[in-house]
Structure 1
Amino acid sequence: MAITALLVVVLAVQAQSTQRAQAEAVTLAVARTIAEMPEVAAAVTTGTDAAATATLQPIAVRIMDLTPIDFVTIMTPDGIRLTHRDPAEIGRPYLGTIGPGLAGRELTEEANGTLGPSLRSVVPVMAEGRVVALVSAGITLGSVASGVLGQVPFVVAIAVALAAIGLAAAWFAGRFTRRIAGDLPASAVRDAVSSYESLRTLGEALRAQTHEHGNRMHTAVALLELGRTEQAIELLTETARSSQDLVDRVVARDGDPTVAALLLGKAAQAAERGVEWSVDMQPAIPRTTLGAVDAVSLVGNLVDNAIDAAAAGPEPRWVRVGMALTPDQRIALTFADSGEGIAPELRERVWEHGFSTKPAGAEGRGVGLALVRAIVEAAGGSITLDAGAPTTFRVLLPSGIAP
């Protein structure tokens, strides 16, 4: 029961975080779209405020009716509302931050307005190189919370199912191993750890990819509802093109589709943390002799370490993954990052089980590199850490193809 309760809490927090991030993305997308509408700039630069309200209020109402946005406030540079969900508030000062908008920058914040606490984005309306108005689009925290509450039954069902599966698997595994093998050998322990690490890193990657696609889909829907069909199609086409390019390179011929899914997710994970991501891959690289679980555990751990190091280091922050086939038909993998590097006195200790340069806790497990080396060596390969900068791990694995 304790495990189930913990799972419910973790999944609920994740659902709330995702719902909030999606709400922020939608408010920013809608505010940007409105700010780019030519009729908005025309209305605020010609005629009186009352005339601008007569033109813009119907537009704001239509947008609020067609999108999940709770309010659209178009205001003068002085912060006087020209539109509002409550017409009685038109002509009164906007309640929120407008300084960045007046400086020509976008802003997303949580603030308390006439409709209560909300997430809102403020985008400047530009004309002839100057800010002529500001657009604020927002979603109340009540709307965000209702979206999370709608997911609670699903979250509870998933948590209960996972707990039941885990208990059943543990019971069957315990009985099986006691009857067949007695004490687990070292290889079985490594396989168990590899399975856990594989699920962890793939789960993180898929969560990031799902989050990114969710944000883009919300933006595309907002564009479609506002009649910006060409921009929506361009956004979706570019997303599909970039994803398909990586998939084609990874799964060409005998490539591993599991690794393709992992790398796609890690690209989204890197973007979330402000890290530039690139994959340099020779075409038609065959599979390694590793199974899917070990391949995901190996690649995922090395990529996770690289993203963590790059995100904690100075700009520009980047991670580069390389895959190539050597002349002797081995698969060469490289993982480089822009982080601050590994101190010379720690270069040997990083391979020790339980040692980590990261803080103790979820991000400082001290398992990754020890497990990676065990997987590589068990497959008949090798792993090395380059001297100097940038930090680069190089892995050589047999491909199953005779040299």
Structure 2
Amino acid sequence: MFPGMPKSALFPRMRFTRQVLLLQIGVVALVVGLGVGLFSGLLRSALANQYGERALAVAKSVATDPVVIEGAAARQQGGALQQRSQAVQLRTDALFVVITDDEGIRLAHPTPDAIGQPVSTSPAEALAGNDVTTQYDDGTLGPSVRSKTPIRQGDRVVGEVSVGYKIGELTGDFNRLLILTLAFGGGALLLGVGASALLNRRLRRVTHGLEPHELTELLYEREAVLHGIGEGVLALDGQQRVSVRNDEAERLLDTELPVGAPMAELELSPRVHKAVAEGVPVDNLLAVAGNRVLVVNSRAVHRDDRPLGTVLTFRDRTDLDTLTRELDGIRSLSDGLRAQRHEFANRLHTLSGLLQLGHHAEAEEYLQTLTETTAGRPHALGDSVADPYLQALLVAKTEQAQEKGMELKLADDSWVPTTVTDPIAAGTVIGNLVDNALHAARMSPRRPASVEVALLADGTTLHVSVVDSGSGVAEELRGTLFDEGVSSKIAPGHGLGLALARQAARARGGDVWLADPGGPSSGALFVAKLPELLVEAAE
């Protein structure tokens, strides 16, 4: 190794797909090799048994010949026995056909000079009356596969017949069959290598050429990103099924998002379903989920011009929306106070001018008029509403209505003797209903434009009704009035007020509904029921 050169530069790590390919090729080669070896052994054994059975059949045919039986019993050497053995040898292509007496002395042999001599292999088993099959021996005529059988005359063994075939004949047949086996094994090996190559190519395409350690790193990075960000993430595959989501998405949407669930079965905002169905990018779409206002962004994902699915992100804007509504209330109240300050300053200037000019009687009369006008104003729209939050909300909305040339009235039969337990929920419901009523009254040609609010306590339940002097709700909007994005206002960004009001009411077990859509002669009437919103009144 050269100094300073890392070891991996000389021995680069082999790609995983190549390792799999080589491993598969090795396994296929090993299996084919073992199969060929096992088959070769079984084939050789089967051929040997076949030749042995063949030799035994020839030996039995010779041993049952009456001439052979009489000659062996008489221990006749050569002669008829020699002729019979040579005829059978020529007819069966055997290496030898040997006949012996009951002492193992050759009575017939392919080599005439060997007649009268003992056999080269032990005849004991055959002379004991047993058949000997498939025995490999190396006799005077060379190695062979031989079988032996006894010659019986009645119940007495008078000799034996031994028939053998050349090992070369067995080897030739074996080699021919082995060549066919090797050709089949080679074809199987090539087929296995081709299949392994195709599988390796498929693996590279599916993993986009990434190594296992790279896939592991991507998994860790994905988990870290999904669960480390403060936004909700929901990914859908090409069939609009949930493929990836984080815990923040389930928390913000206030529903479970099981992987594999179809998008159509999820309880999400209609706006979100519509954005996904249309398949167009969505930026900063406002949607309601439970008591939260979410900002939704949607992007379609493609790779190599192939659609992979859609990714949605959710940001919680509830706190910002609440602060915005509170800021609007404070701004309305401050505008009202500023108007009162200007009015009060003008009155003081008038009073100062009368005093400076010496019109003391006129100044006294003017001051008396101011005192009576101020005293005659109901404190916080009347003493029938004891809660300071409701008073402040109604005062702010009253000043807002007056600035726009409208009138906001509290119904005479209103009665709330206790305080509210959740000012935010009360402000969300009442504020949105009043804002919509003021808008409807201002846009209607009917004058004077006015809104009447009725608040009535029933134990701990607060009943709210808001009626305006507008032209009523259009018939095409009545069925979808409380859906997100449905609004009669032209400017974008509206259509959440009534949806938020209903969500806030239903979160407490109550509801908001359109009691009377109104029409040409009367405005719309909205009613809300808010259980457990008031402190229980003392007896």
In the superposition, the TM-score normalised over structure 1's length comes to 0.48
* Larger RCO, structures 1/2 (Cα 8 Å, 6+ apart): 1
In the superposition, the TM-score normalised over structure 2's length comes to 0.37
The structure that has the greater radius of gyration is 2
Name whichever structure is richer in helix by fraction: 1
